[in-house]
Structure 1
């Protein structure tokens, strides 16, 4: 559930009778959804249809970088990695559009998608990307919600996520369908604690990025 929809949902619930039956459906279950559920539902039944996400088969690295050097670092990654398709994640829709423009300016094909776009436009972008019309997609966390693209073998967190659930859903993009995947995280000074926290919560290790990355780690 996008934060943008919470006030609207709260207003709608005010018009419902207290005895109304409520059902909540969500592709993911972040804290915002859990809080909403606890506030408006009494001892609800939970049905989980999602397979457990895993980091198996995904090689994870981080690169410490200053904010102003992120685009340069991304350019270097594009030139060195063997990318089938990649998804680059940002933490806001404004940064999604700005980064997509920068990527185009440095000479790489790029689509972008975020929650502020019209649904028909989002569907068209996703359909074209999935069919291989473009190699790189810049996205907000919108695309982490139950969407699978088989040919994606590289995920880059241009902005590091704030929690482990978001990280797991983002990075899971690159290693599904039994394929190998690569996750690169661009880490600023302010991201250090989140990096450690996510490693601890997920029981995983995110290693410093080496000078060269063995293609056998993420290419079949």
Structure 2
């Protein structure tokens, strides 16, 4: 019923493969590009497996989902709540920058699915409040970021608290050496899904505009110095709810954040590699939708522009005087 009420009519390619495999209990390492429906790919099997636990309220914490950013944690928990709204499942989100005391009090009540950032969950685990000895499903979204130098020690420490028969589901876009090393050491006969050749930039029209660097800086240098967390939360909330139409953000923010109304992405500073470019422009053209990417290109960016076009097998055309709205609005 939750799936029906979300309006999903058919699974995306990553959902079609991963949901069934995850339900068998096997470890998964799934690679797919942004906008292909990765979040639902693990939320559905996690919720479905929770419904099979007959002694649900006696199990301390059956499932955990970790993500690299606060915004992605909030988004993922909301998807879980919406898909599981007709189930007797308690979903909790916990991240840094919020009250630790409130989280501790919440964990004294039944929680069946915990969504959060690794540092905060590790803090709660080391305090003995978050009990992972019966956690049967451990999901890592944006796993390539979670296994970067910033997060990997916390992630591996967390996994040391899990039982031996746990199931680990990893979802990511890129496959750096750190991910391969982690897979070889900690995953048990994982099922490998690689859909990186699918839906690369489908539905996204890409343009570039050649400018001088000083022209770009003049546009934004008076707008931002430093945003406090509550200001950042408010800006994101207003953007999602349609109160404002434009959002300026960093690369970290763009990882996995799904806002259906986003159909235009402007790269103020052109990325240096194809991975970052995909994460950014993936905000538009989400699965089944159209989108537009506009890139501001300086003289120094010209080689990166050519290289990214070659690596992604795509064409970034010079911007036209008039852009037909039909290519990014439905």
TM-score by length of 1: 0.63
Counterpart Cα distance in 2 of 1:152 and 1:209? 20
Counterpart Cα distance in 2 of 1:208 and 1:61? 5
**Matching of residue 206 in structure 1 with residue 293 in structure 2:** no
Unaligned runs of 5+ in 1: 76-98, 105-111
1:56 counterpart residue number: 202
Taking a change above 3 Å as real, the CA distance of residues 198 and 176 of structure 1, as seen in their structure-2 partners, is same
Counterpart Cα distance in 1 of 2:150 and 2:273? 23
1:37 pairs, out of 160, 170, 179, with 179
**Matching of residue 6 in structure 1 with residue 152 in structure 2:** no
Q: How does 1:29-108 map to 2 (within 5 A)?
A: 29-30=173-174, 34-42=176-184, 44=187, 45=190, 48=193, 52-71=198-217, 99=220, 102=222
Counterpart Cα distance in 2 of 1:147 and 1:30? 17
> Structure 1, residues 109-132: CA drift from partner, whole Å, max 9, x if none?
xxx98xxx64x6644432221001
Instruction: Give 3-state SS (helix, strand or coil) of 2:247's partner.
Output: strand
1:28 counterpart residue number: 172
Contact 2:200 2:312 in 1 (8 A): no
Contact 1:57 1:179 in 2 (8 A): yes
1:215 counterpart residue number: 325
**Matching of residue 130 in structure 1 with residue 272 in structure 2:** no
**Cα deviation, residue 183, structure 1:** 0.7
**Cα deviation, residue 174, structure 1:** 1.6
Contact 1:27 1:146 in 2 (8 A): no
Taking a change above 3 Å as real, the CA distance of residues 154 and 162 of structure 1, as seen in their structure-2 partners, is same
Taking a change above 3 Å as real, the CA distance of residues 148 and 49 of structure 1, as seen in their structure-2 partners, is farther
> Structure 1, residues 144-184: CA drift from partner, whole Å, max 9, x if none?
22221111121000011122122122112122253322110
TM-score by length of 2: 0.44
Structure ID, larger Rg:
2
**Cα deviation, residue 102, structure 1:** 3.6
Taking a change above 3 Å as real, the CA distance of residues 157 and 12 of structure 1, as seen in their structure-2 partners, is closer
Relative contact order (alpha carbons < 8 A, sep ≥ 6): 1 or 2 greater?
A: 1
**Cα deviation, residue 208, structure 1:** 0.7
Counterpart Cα distance in 2 of 1:26 and 1:193? 33
Contact 1:180 1:217 in 2 (8 A): yes
Once structures 1 and 2 are overlaid, which stretch shifts more, 157-166 or 52-61?
52-61
Number of equivalenced pairs: 179
Counterpart Cα distance in 1 of 2:285 and 2:265? 9
Contact 1:153 1:174 in 2 (8 A): yes
Instruction: Give 3-state SS (helix, strand or coil) of 2:149's partner.
Output: helix
Contact 1:54 1:172 in 2 (8 A): no
Counterpart Cα distance in 1 of 2:170 and 2:253? 14
Taking a change above 3 Å as real, the CA distance of residues 68 and 26 of structure 1, as seen in their structure-2 partners, is farther
Contact 1:27 1:145 in 2 (8 A): no
